[in-house]
Amino acid sequence: MIELVQTPAIAQGLRKVETRIRRLGGSSELAGINDGAGRIITAGGKRLRPAMTLAASLALGKSPDRRVITAAACVEMIHAGSLIHDDLMDGARQRRGTATLNAELGAGKALVIGDFMLARAALAAITAVSRPVAEVLAATAVELAEGQFQETNDLYDARRTRESAIRSITGKTAALFRASCLVAAVCAHASPEDRARMAAYGERFGLIFQILDDLLDLTASSRTLGKPAGNDLRQGVYSLPLLLSDADVRHLLGPGMTDEQVTEVLERLRASRMTATTLEYCRGLAADAVAALPVIHDEEIARVLYGLPTAYIDHAMELTMAS
Ligand code: FPP
Ligand code: MG
């Protein structure tokens, strides 16, 4: 993961993406919107999605031009906007170790700053990239909303199936990773087969990303996470790792759980085979991801993209062990 963003050609592109994101996030006539959007943009974040856009572009033999840079910035804007909405829905007070916009400015302002970021990304995509890329991003925003709705619909549902959990994370998270690779393939005028291959790689990686995020919510300490551990349990999310666990804790979840109850569920899950089964599941997805990759002539980019899914799994394993 670190290798991805540090690869020279990608790091160079990311600096331009950063400038573009900040310009887009600061493009309102209203200083209050620019301040709010700027706060979430500068609060950190790994810039993993735009890095994947740049890597996919280089993998397909296209050195990232202005359009690719803007497409990558649009992907990150959609991501940041959706996090503002997610924190609002969750009533979250902290993200990345800093106060959320809803905690700082209230629900109404956070809502419209999130709207602004999504709309601004759509406008940039149509005016400064291309109609096909704007279509990919609009369709992805639809999937994000549907995936998030599905998760909300399943809250505290002890009968939630693994299939339902997978459908939800495919929409709310994997779709944007898929899009981050696909927009690069569209900009590169890649063949339909190469577009499908890059998209499939992004989607598989996105699934791994979300499943590991969900696993860490149940296995890592609050200090490691920069937000309270066991958040999903408190919010009634029966995440895939929980559903893959052999410990039956479903009946223990409910609204208004005390800290002691959350700790008990976490202890049972940590003592179960949950981590091993989840990591095994992710390794299967990693194999699918690399099998989907098209032929890549740039050796360095090939090495980074082939290694990324496994590197991410190893990173999550280390965080679990360190907690
Ligand atoms: C974070 O996941 C949330 C998402 C990946 C998706 C959020 C999507 C929406 C709010 C739908 C609206 C978006 C658009 C584009 C209209 P998480 O809650 O599992 O992760 P966390 O632990 O970091 O909060
Ligand atoms: Mg959340």
Q: What is the dihedral of CA 298, 126, 168, 93, to 10 degrees?
A: 100
Sequence-distant (6+) residues with CB within 8 A of 48 are 1, 4, 5, 209
Residue keyed to tokens 């990693």: 286
Q: Please name every residue paired with 99 in a beta bridge, in sequence order, or none if there are none.
A: 94
Atom of ligand 1 nearest to the CA of 78: 15
> Residue of the nearest CA to atom 8 in ligand 1?
82
Q: Look at residues 167, 170, 179 and name the one whose alpha carbon lies nearest to residue 140.
A: 179
The Cα–Cα gap between 287 and 248 comes to 29
Q: Please name every residue paired with 95 in a beta bridge, in sequence order, or none if there are none.
A: 98
- Whether the per-residue pLDDT at 288 is higher than 70: the answer is yes
- Nearest ligand (C-alpha, residue 206): 1
Q: Say whether 287 sits in a helix, a strand or coil.
A: helix
The Cα–Cα gap between 102 and 90 comes to 10
Across the chain, what does the average pLDDT equal? 95
Atom of ligand 1 nearest to the CA of 149: 11
Q: Give the Å distance between the CA of 247 and the centre of ligand 1.
A: 27
- Nearest ligand (C-alpha, residue 74): 1
- Whether the per-residue pLDDT at 81 is higher than 80: the answer is yes
Instruction: Give tens-digit pLDDT for 209-263.
Output: 999 999 999 998 877 776 778 989 999 999 999 999 999 899 999 999 999 999 9
Q: What is the dihedral of CA 248, 250, 251, 252, to 10 degrees?
A: 90
The Cα–Cα gap between 224 and 315 comes to 12
- Whether the per-residue pLDDT at 1 is higher than 70: the answer is no
Give the model's confidence band at 98: pLDDT under 50 very low, under 70 low, under 90 confident, else very high. confident
Is 320 in contact with 217 (CB distance < 8 Å)?
Answer: no
The Cα–Cα gap between 77 and 118 comes to 7
The Cα–Cα gap between 133 and 307 comes to 27
DSSP, residue by residue, 66-78? HHHHHHHHHHHHH
The Cα–Cα gap between 284 and 278 comes to 10
Tokens read off for 231: 């958040």
Give the model's confidence band at 4: pLDDT under 50 very low, under 70 low, under 90 confident, else very high. confident
Is 54 in contact with 66 (CB distance < 8 Å)?
Answer: no
Identify the residues whose C-beta falls under 6 Å from ligand 1: 78, 82, 85-86, 118, 141, 144-145, 148, 172-173, 213
Q: With a threshold of 0.75, does the pTM exceed it?
A: yes
Q: Residue 252 carries which DSSP code? A: G
Give the model's confidence band at 323: pLDDT under 50 very low, under 70 low, under 90 confident, else very high. low
Rg (CA), the chain: 19
Sequence-distant (6+) residues with CB within 8 A of 267 are none
Going along the chain from its start, the domains and CATH numbers come out as: 2-322 (1.10.600.10)
The Cα–Cα gap between 224 and 195 comes to 36
